[in-house]
Amino acid sequence: MSLRRLFVLFMCAALLSASPASWAKRTWQLKFATLAPAGTAWMDLLEAWAEEVRVKSDGRLKFKIYAGGVQGDEPDVLRKIRFGQLHGGAFTGYGIGHFYSPARALELPFLFNSLDEIDYVRERFMPDVEQGYRDNGYELLGWMEVGLVRFFSKNPLYSVDDLRRQRIWQWQGDPMGQAFFDASGIRPVPLSIIDVYTSLSTGLIDTVYGPPLGALALQWFSKTNYVTNVPMANGIGSLIVSRRFFQNLPQDLQKLLKSTGKSTGEKLITATRRDNEASLEVLKAKGLKFTLNEEDLDVAELDRISARAGESLMRSGYIPEPTLSAINQWLAEYRANNKIKEPSAGDSP
């Protein structure tokens, strides 16, 4: 065989290996981290997502899920994604603050009155959020929630004034918590979440906040006696992948990851809301008493707190003014539409 023929053969082989047929056989592994422990409803849904992607991609895209926080907490996972050691993960407000901090407007204290309001605003806000993530190097795959955040306390709480008299934990380094406490005139005790349970036992703090399922999983409920009925905010979360990983995928796999991620997020929201509701019942059974009902609220004061927190986040640039205005506008729109639908006193049944 002449050298030229050998070269032609080699070129043919190289061209063949770059053909769509061999492209179709290439496989990708998505290293994905989550704090959700194995066996929980969250993890079951994430595993089902991974399986759906594996099957629908004919094995070309596989997840390797690191469950239960084995890759560290959110700052650790973020760092590993930046270094390319991991490609994606499930994040709560902390991570979202790094992907696109304006998205955390959805966590403003006392902003929403119902889950329907949250859903209405979120739907309209999502295109901005998605673009914001993309501009910062992340692809949003699915939106989820941690749940409605309540106060858990050793002493009964009936007003914001009562809150001011407690030793309240603040999640160290969280701008949202800081904005809320500043706006409410509360001087909290900043601590890492790791130290909360022990600090409740020693009395360093006597009040904490979190969703009911979180209070059960972290066993804070066993060190507190009261839980507030009115939630202060809605904890958010999202499923993301780095743009670097996402852009390397062929288009069909990008579409698959996006569509399945979106529906997984929706399932996660349903499961979270269900489990948080069930957790409230468990808390009752465990002897916790519910305080701060709707009728105890000084609505004007809460509105002032919410507005002040929003303004301070706006000044720091964490949540820009246009985002805040848009959210307030959607909220007003929803409330106006809903008011119209409500039967007035003079309406016949």
Which residues of the shown chain bind other proteins in the complex (CB under 8 A)?
A: 35, 37-41, 44, 64, 66, 68-71, 73, 193-194, 197, 212-213, 216-219, 221-222, 275, 278-279, 281-282, 285-287
Q: Which is nearer to other proteins, 73 or 182 (CB)?
A: 73
Residue 330 CA to residue 83 CA, distance in Å, equals 38
Q: Which is nearer to other proteins, 126 or 218 (CB)?
A: 218
| Shortest Å, Cβ 40 to other proteins | 5
DSSP assignment of 266-280: HHHHHHHHHHHHHHH
| Shortest Å, Cβ 221 to other proteins | 7
| Shortest Å, Cβ 262 to other proteins | 23
Angle (deg, nearest 10), helices 41-56 and 251-285: 160
Q: β-strand 226-228 against 138-153: which pairing, if any?
A: antiparallel
Q: Which is nearer to other proteins, 68 or 137 (CB)?
A: 68
Q: Which is nearer to other proteins, 135 or 281 (CB)?
A: 281
Q: Which is nearer to other proteins, 199 or 306 (CB)?
A: 199
Residue 340 CA to residue 342 CA, distance in Å, equals 5
Residue 54 CA to residue 48 CA, distance in Å, equals 10
Q: Which is nearer to other proteins, 216 or 305 (CB)?
A: 216
| Shortest Å, Cβ 77 to other proteins | 11
Residue 222 CA to residue 283 CA, distance in Å, equals 9
| Shortest Å, Cβ 237 to other proteins | 14
Contact 309, 108 (CB under 8 A): yes
| Shortest Å, Cβ 192 to other proteins | 9
Backbone torsions φ then ψ of 153, nearest 5 degrees: -140, 160
Name which of 52, 83, 19 is nearest 253 in CA terms.
Answer: 52
Residue 175 CA to residue 15 CA, distance in Å, equals 54
